[in-house]
Amino acid sequence: MQPERVRPLVGVVCDVKMVPPHAFHMAGDKYLTALAQAAGVTPVLLPALTDLLDPTSFVSRLDGLFLTGGYSMVHPRHYGAAPLPDQAYDERRDALSLALINAALDRDLPLFAACRGFQEVNVALGGTLHQALHEVPGLQEHRENKDESLAQQYAPAHPVALTRGGLLQQILSTDTLEVNSLHVQGVATLGGGLEVEATAPDGLIEAVRVAAMRFALAVQWHPEWQVMNHPQQRQLFEAFGDACRA
């Protein structure tokens, strides 16, 4: 294990959740553990207090930024759409993530994002989202079955085709990758400056990179799940950790 003094500091965005009777700023253990174990970095939770703290002030103190998944959705007002009545939103996280993404781009700070974080990157760069993939003709089911065990929910669900010559293919040295699938929303139109890194069999974009940055990778799946048991997903965290150390 690396000495803590040499580990890069990676900011992790927080969700704001009610644990009655109080609100808490939190991030999932699986993300923090994957960052510490597989990426070899020290995760630092960033509170969603944009009304009190300037998120851009965090960036100069960090070596990387990680955007987690979440049970809430990016509020559709950020891409010119109306909210759906059955969706959960976390606008305090939106404000934090969108500000941090833009600050990371300005500083060329290494960035890695999963699921909701992937969607945040697309929206931050002017893209739009399908709010209910299961209602879009031609797209397959991308949601998990919540009646199943976590092991079943996070099991590989479908392959993705990696873009030839892209960052993912360079990291993994393969043309395809089996991924899990636990998302309701997905990319409708791609944000400016993003390059497609992987697509699902139905054509849905599953991974992107910010072309102008040294390392800025966002994936629609959950690479953090039991990452030490999945060598290819571990390679993604290792590559992010290397970028942060650089």
pLDDT of residue 6: 81
Task: Give which of 104, 121, 106 is closest to 11, Cα–Cα.
Answer: 104
The string of pLDDT tens digits covering residues 24-40 is: 999 999 999 999 999 99
The string of pLDDT tens digits covering residues 199-226 is: 999 999 999 999 999 999 999 999 999 9
Task: Give which of 163, 162, 164, 160 is closest to 178, Cα–Cα.
Answer: 160
pLDDT of residue 3: 52
Q: pLDDT > 70: what percent of the chain?
A: 98
Q: Which pLDDT band holds residue 56 (cuts at 50, 70, 90)?
A: confident
Coil, strand or helix: which one is 75?
coil
Phi–psi pair at 168, nearest 5 degrees: -60, -45
Kindly list the strands in the beta sheet with 205-210, ordered across the sheet, starting from the edge strand earlier in the chain: 42-46, 9-13, 64-67, 111-114, 216-219, 205-210, 194-199, 158-162, 176-179
pLDDT of residue 123: 98
pLDDT of residue 139: 95
Q: Integer distance in angstroms from the first to the last C-alpha of the chain?
A: 18
195, 200, 206, 209: CA torsion to nearest 10: -20
The string of pLDDT tens digits covering residues 127-186 is: 999 999 999 999 999 999 999 999 999 999 999 999 999 999 999 999 999 999 999 999
pLDDT of residue 187: 98
Q: Which pLDDT band holds residue 2 (cuts at 50, 70, 90)?
A: low
Contact (Cβ atoms closer than 8 angstroms) between residue 15 and residue 70: yes
pLDDT of residue 219: 98
pLDDT of residue 58: 86
Whether 1 shows a pLDDT value over 60: the answer reads no
pLDDT of residue 213: 97
Q: Which pLDDT band holds residue 120 (cuts at 50, 70, 90)?
A: very high
pTM of the model: 0.96
The string of pLDDT tens digits covering residues 93-116 is: 999 999 999 999 999 999 999 999
Please give the domain boundaries of the chain with CATH numbers for all domains.
Answer: 4-245 (3.40.50.880)
pLDDT of residue 5: 56
| Rounded Cα gap, residues 116 and 189, in angstroms | 16
Report the relative pairing of strands 205-210 and 216-219 from DSSP bridges.
antiparallel
Q: Which residues participate in catalysis according to the annotation?
A: 115, 222, 224
| Average confidence (pLDDT) over 46-51 | 96
| Rounded Cα gap, residues 246 and 243, in angstroms | 5
Sign of torsion over alpha carbons 19, 24, 28, 29: negative
| Rounded Cα gap, residues 44 and 210, in angstroms | 23
Contact (Cβ atoms closer than 8 angstroms) between residue 217 and residue 170: no
Whether 4 shows a pLDDT value over 80: the answer reads no
